[in-house]
Amino acid sequence: MAVTEATEPVEPIELEEPTGSQREGHRPLMTSGSILMMNVGFFGVQFSFGLTQTAVNPLFTFIGASPDELPILNLAGPVTGLFIQPLIGAMSDRTWSPRFGRRRPFILAGALLCVIILLLFPFVTTLWMGVLCLWLLDAGNNTSMEPYRALISDKLPKSQLARGFLTQSLFTGAGAVLANLSLFIFQKVLGGTAANGVPYWVYTCFALGAVCILATVLTAMLRTKEIPPSEEELAELRAAPKGVRHFVTDIAVAVREMPVSMHKIGIVFVFQWYAMFIYWQFVAVSVGESVFNTGPEQPGWDEAVGWSGLMNATYNFFTMVTALFLIGFCQRFGGKRVHAVCLGIAAVSLTALSQISSQWLTLVPMIGMGICWASMVGVPYLMVASMVPRSRTGVYMGILNMMIVVPMLVETFTFGWIFKHLLGGKGTNAILVAGILLACAALAMLWVNPPHASEESDFLPLGRHHISVYERLIVGSDGTDASLYAVNRAHAVAEEADAHVLVVSAYNPGPPPKDPLPVGARRELYGKEAALHALQAAIKYLTSDRLRSVDTRIVAGDPAEALIDAAGSDPRSLIVVGNRGIGAAEGHELGSVPSEVVHRATCDVLIVQVPADADSEFT
């Protein structure tokens, strides 16, 4: 029987929450909807981060700060990131509450602090009050962000890590787009200035940020369940020493034990994040000089600030677009090459921006910045998440953030003097220096050699991806014990071959026969619901972290035809099928499905010898 209905991709089926030993090797696949819901809080958190990157420095100038003071005024971000993120990471690794979970208490506490400070920030009347609010806001942002990234790694098997961090990039990009776009729009439509010198449109932007972070983080945390630890893990958590001194010791041990690859990435981060801190602080000053011929406390400064918000919204929009394709490029060419190219594009973009005097033309370099930002917020975190132990994800994410904030901390103490005495107090020169530093980061990334094979990420490699003999395994499932035995063997082969897995379930769209089938006659699945149950039974055995990805497909038609069509003519595909099951007549050694597949397939076929006692293994 030919295929009578188009193949239907099926959402991964989310199973019940695992416990105990299932935590490490058998995390359930999550549906796309569940992954989206888990990540939606990044929208609000990044809105808050976007305001600190774009709106806070202009707000400082509104209440009397000069451009050369901006680096030291931004000390809050690096210091809070240096101490809070690794400390919160270590604490969340050793925390468990049956009611609130492991990461959620920290995420919610940080979000609540952000909401309070965002509502109060525009009311500041002196510079020291603004600096205090920035310290508290950055503390809340860092308290939420690090455990949130660790939560993604906690929940997802490695086969879905890319999708999880891709979704994070999409929401962070969207949050930053709205944060920066709100600056541009509200500056155009809302006039007037409050008694403290802060325009009313700034009040509106910060209030919108408070609403966004409260709504999205609450929604995500209420809809996401954390995976409970096993009794052994609970005993280990209870026995672990508590207190800040022990958490600091835990961080120090993790630094000594971290993979060499993380040390090498840290070298790149020195140039990368020094440059980005310069960009965030001086982009408004730069376009004010080159495009609007103005500066802080001069006529037209509001317009320059609003336009810089549109520029940042533009690059964050392209961040969302780029995130859709970036993971595939990394898996094909390696994170090292992809990140180096992205840094090179950003270097060219900022160099060009420093020379542009046309208002609308300043948006063109933002395309390159968006491409690079997608790599910055996704690729390093995904590489680290796939190369460190899951039980230590929190502390290692915090350590990675330390590598980010140390260059920022150095910038706050050094660049104010450089800007005033070596760059002539020109914002365009500051942006040019940022471009040169990003070029240095790109070269440093090329200098980073792929790590030893024992430390290489098996999911998102730093070097070029190893091409295995088989890139994809296709296995059929009808829910019977014989087919599950074949699925189990396909799982083992895929682990060793580092291959993708496609599970196919075929069904007869017609009504089931009314009369009982003769003994030994061919049996089929009738209806789409039966095929869904067959897939659900199969993926229980395909949730190992070592699998690159697991996809499912339902076909209305003949099982053999469905397997052959799924494999296509790619010689790197392998069809795995049991020697008996559906289509096997009584007394026959080979069923009709494997027999037809062997005769017609253009790729390799693995026939699994299903033992007579296979029923007892899966029933």
Alpha-carbon distances, residue 356 vs 186, 233, 288, 359, 369 (angstroms): 25, 58, 12, 8, 15
Cα torsion 188, 192, 195, 197: sign: positive
**pLDDT tens per residue across span 52-64:** 777 787 788 877 7
With 80 as the cut, is the pLDDT of residue 280 above it? yes
Composition of the chain by helix, strand, coil, percent to 5: 65, 5, 30
Q: What's the pLDDT score for residue 436? A: 96
Residue 234 lies in a domain: no
Asked whether residue 294 falls in the same domain as residue 159, the answer is yes
Q: What percent of the chain has pLDDT over 70?
A: 82
Residue 208 lies in a domain: yes
d(CA 83, CA 139) in angstroms, rounded, equals 10
Calculate mean pLDDT across residues 235-256. Answer: 71
Q: What's the pLDDT score for residue 260? A: 74
**What band does 274 get if pLDDT is binned at 50, 70 and 90?**
very high
Asked whether residue 595 falls in the same domain as residue 479, the answer is yes
- Tell me which residue range forms the domain holding 406: 30-229+240-447
Residue 286 lies in a domain: yes
Q: Regarding beta strands 550-556 and 8-10, do their DSSP bridges make them parallel or antiparallel, or are they unpaired? A: antiparallel
How far is CA 419 from its chain centroid? Answer: 35
Q: What's the pLDDT score for residue 61? A: 80
As for how many domains the chain has, the answer is 2
Residue 317 lies in a domain: yes
Asked whether residue 58 falls in the same domain as residue 206, the answer is yes
With 60 as the cut, is the pLDDT of residue 463 above it? yes
Nearest to 398 by CA among 248, 174, 277: 248
Asked whether residue 210 falls in the same domain as residue 283, the answer is yes
Q: Average per-residue pLDDT in the chain?
A: 79
Contact yes or no for 430/264 (Cβ under 8 A): no
Which class for 587: exposed (0-12), middle (13-18), buried (19 or more C-beta within 10 A)?
Answer: exposed
Calculate mean pLDDT across residues 125-150. Answer: 85
> In the listed set 447, 477, 498, which residue is the last one of a domain according to the structure?
447
Contact yes or no for 46/179 (Cβ under 8 A): yes
Nearest to 345 by CA among 319, 313, 378, 371: 371
Residue 8 lies in a domain: no
Q: Regarding beta strands 604-608 and 573-578, do their DSSP bridges make them parallel or antiparallel, or are they unpaired? A: parallel
CATH number at residue 476: 3.40.50.620
Which residue type occupies 117? I
**pLDDT tens per residue across span 78-102:** 777 777 777 777 777 777 877 888 8
Q: What's the pLDDT score for residue 273? A: 93
Q: What's the pLDDT score for residue 23? A: 42
Asked whether residue 59 falls in the same domain as residue 183, the answer is yes
Asked whether residue 531 falls in the same domain as residue 435, the answer is no
Asked whether residue 411 falls in the same domain as residue 549, the answer is no
Q: Which range (3-12, 242-251, 373-382, 460-469) has the least confidence? A: 3-12
pTM for the model: 0.61
Q: How many CB atoms lie within 10 A of CB 15?
A: 16
Asked whether residue 484 falls in the same domain as residue 405, the answer is no
Residue 490 lies in a domain: yes
Asked whether residue 438 falls in the same domain as residue 478, the answer is no
Q: Regarding beta strands 472-476 and 573-578, do their DSSP bridges make them parallel or antiparallel, or are they unpaired? A: parallel
Instruction: Report the DSSP beta bridge partners of residue 97.
Output: 101
Calculate mean pLDDT across residues 321-327. Answer: 80
What single string gives the DSSP state of each residue in 567-609? HTT-TTEEEEEESSSTT--TT-SS-HHHHHHHHH-SSEEEEE-
**pLDDT tens per residue across span 555-589:** 888 888 889 888 887 788 899 988 765 444 444 55
Residue 387 lies in a domain: yes
Contact yes or no for 251/392 (Cβ under 8 A): no
User: What is the number of residues in the chain?
Assistant: 619
Calculate mean pLDDT across residues 595-617. Answer: 77
Number of continuous H segments (helices) and E segments (strands) in the chain:
23, 6
CATH number at residue 136: 1.20.1250.20
Calculate mean pLDDT across residues 546-552. Answer: 69
With 70 as the cut, is the pLDDT of residue 305 above it? yes
- Look at 607 and 388; give whichever has higher pLDDT: 607
Residue 460 lies in a domain: no
Asked whether residue 155 falls in the same domain as residue 297, the answer is yes
Q: How many CB atoms lie within 10 A of CB 537?
A: 20
Q: Where are the beta strands (DSSP E) in 319-460?
A: none
Asked whether residue 341 falls in the same domain as residue 489, the answer is no
Asked whether residue 426 falls in the same domain as residue 379, the answer is yes
**pLDDT tens per residue across span 146-175:** 788 888 878 887 667 767 777 887 788 788
